[in-house]
Amino acid sequence: MSIHLSKGGALRRVVLSCDVAGCPIQVEPPATEAWRNDADARAWAREHAVGWTSDPIRQTDYCPGHAQFREAPAIGHAPPRPTATVRDRSGNPLNRDEHAERLGKLLVDGDRSAGRPLTLTAAQATVVARLLDELAGVYRGESLGTLAHELSALLDSKLRDQD
């Protein structure tokens, strides 16, 4: 969420952004008086953003398409973990755990196929392995991070075998 004072200071504009990772949707509810403080301007905007929901405890806002993310997960269930860039055909982020599972299956199925192997230079493989290490660090403890770590280790072992 961002708050802006309009030129001349007559109005305070608030722009709400959906807090689901990768969702580009924003809305600017009607502007409010400039004298309102930031907390009051936020409350005004949330009240006047048609179809939007918010979680006052986590201070998050959700567009109508992602309103279900407002609900806290049940005890024992992992909260939704959407991908930052990967989308389904409708443009919605995928669940990271399901995405990691699909990628893992793709690796297994790809090993069974008789396709021509792709060749990387040692420098390219090293860069890919370090990018995978970064991804593994960001998603530490998640299936996507584990998959990235395993692939990085596989690339590193292939590089050592070449030496």
Q: Is 76 helix (H, G, I), strand (E, B) or coil?
A: coil
Amino acid at 51: G
42 within 8 A of 52, measured Cβ to Cβ:
no
pLDDT of residue 72: 66
Alpha-carbon distance of 49 to 45, in angstroms, equals 6
The mean per-residue pLDDT over the stretch 104-126 comes to 82
pLDDT of residue 87: 87
More confident residue, 156 or 59: 156
pLDDT of residue 126: 92
What pLDDT, in 10s, does the model give residues 65-114? 888 877 766 677 666 678 888 888 988 888 888 999 999 998 888 766 66
What length does the chain have? 163
Contact residues for 82 (Cβ-Cβ < 8 A; gap 6+): 20, 21, 22, 92, 93, 94, 95, 96
Average pLDDT of every residue of the chain: 82
Return the DSSP state at 119. Answer: -
Whether the predicted model's global pTM rises above the 0.85 cut:
no
Residue of 37, 16, 35, 34 whose CA lies nearest to 25: 16
pLDDT of residue 125: 92
